Amino acid sequence: MKSFFLWMQKEEGWKTVLATVYAVICLFDFVVAPAYFAHTRIRVLNDFENMQLERLSPAIQDQVAKTITLRHSPFTLEGGGMFHIAFGALLTGSAISRIKEGANNDKA
């Protein structure tokens, strides 16, 4: 455990963890959550096939239609995608500093 914290204190450690965390968050938000959402929608659609919707009042029919057509919206795109802009700035800054370090090492 101590070696992990020593690695994190180095310049490369936190950048690697930052990129990994961002990749995991994006994977969850754009792949896992929509797949789960679609899987549960199929189950809801199967349940509604057995209902006789014409017997229900128009207000309930409207709610059923909203439930069936509901779509997943990624959590990280809320607020104009500021989450991705912030992570992009951090990752870009770390990549630029890595390039500058490489150029300085080549000159030495």
3-state SS record for 79-100: CCCHHHHHHHHHHHHHHHHHHH
Helices (H), ranges, 1-108:
2-9, 11-27, 33-49, 58-69, 82-107
Flag whether 85 is in a domain: yes
Residue 50: pLDDT band with limits 50, 70, 90: low
Residue 5 has pLDDT above 70, yes or no: no
Mean pLDDT of the chain: 80
Inside any domain, residue 108: no
The whole domain housing 38 covers 2-101
Domain-located, residue 78: yes
What is the pTM assigned to this prediction?
A: 0.69
In a domain, 107, yes or no: no
